[in-house]
Structure 1
Amino acid sequence: MCSININDPEHPLSLEELNVLEQVRVRVNDQENAVSVEFTPTIPHCSMATLIGLSIKVKLLRSLPDRFKIDVHITPGTHASEEAVNKQLADKERVAAALENAQLLEVVNQCLTSKTV
């Protein structure tokens, strides 16, 4: 299994260690240039769900060739605000605006920084 090394914004663990991200919920369709990732917040009312989704999306945008369409969304039925979070993550303009916010970008970058052991 390939680790993507994204840290949880509230815990000293990675999203994989918390089972927020699991390989079985990642789908890559090379022929259609598409990547789909479902993530499962640790609790149904997780206030960091949008930030976690944004961090996953940014990691993929930075790691994959531009030809890929990236879809990041909450695993169905696992979050109280699933529809609203998914709508934000699917909106290119909202994602771009979020990444123009220096403070938010700093938090995302912290989530993407490898932990030193």
Structure 2
Amino acid sequence: MYCFDPANLSKDIKDPEHPYSLEELKVITEDAIEVDDKLSYVRVTFTPTVEHCSMATVIGLCLRVKLMRSLPQRYKVDIKVAPGTHATEAAVNKQLNDKERVAAALENPNLVDMVDEFCM
């Protein structure tokens, strides 16, 4: 059995536009992270700092990459913007949970460098 500590997820990622962690900015709270070890499933719901946050997709990608690096491959990861907290919530959610879009994003060296910089 694998043990994942959700408390560390938000502490280890800096906000791309602020010198604070996602936890310090309340972008992610521990109760917004659901882990079901039996079903190998993790869902993270995050709240961007502002409704028009231009970095919401990057924040979500940082979360996905951190989880990909931390969890065994058997886990399905679902990253979502909290309902009603972002102007383009549906588009951001679609982009963050589409395997092909995520794979394409992770082929971009500049984007990978940015993600690595914010995933402490």
TM-score clears 0.5: yes
2:8 is aligned to 3
Distance 1:7 1:74 in 2: 17
Distance 1:14 1:2 in 2: 12
Q: Under a length normalisation based on structure 1, what TM-score does the superposition of the two structures give? A: 0.94
| Alignment partner of 1:61 is 2:56 | no
Q: Secondary structure of the residue that 1:79 maps to in structure 2?
A: coil
2:47 is aligned to 40
1:96-117 CA-to-partner distances (Å, cap 9, x unmatched) read 010000000000000112xxxx
List alignment gaps of at least 5 residues for structure 2. 1-5
Q: Secondary structure of the residue that 2:23 maps to in structure 1?
A: coil
Distance 1:13 1:43 in 2: 15
Shift of 1:82: 0.2
Q: 1:12-31 to 2 correspondence within 5 Å? A: 12-31=19-38
Distance 1:28 1:3 in 2: 13
Shift of 1:81: 0.4
Q: Which amino acid aligns with 1:77?
A: G
Query: Which of residues 94, 106, 116 in structure 2 aligns to 1:99?
Result: 106
Distance 1:74 1:33 in 2: 21
List alignment gaps of at least 5 residues for structure 1. none
1:70-96 CA-to-partner distances (Å, cap 9, x unmatched) read 001101110000000000001000000
Extract structure 1 runs of 4+ deviating beyond 6 A.
none
Query: What count of residue pairs does the alignment treat as equivalent?
Result: 113
Q: Which amino acid aligns with 1:70?
A: V
Distance 2:89 2:73 in 1: 27
Q: Under a length normalisation based on structure 2, what TM-score does the superposition of the two structures give? A: 0.92
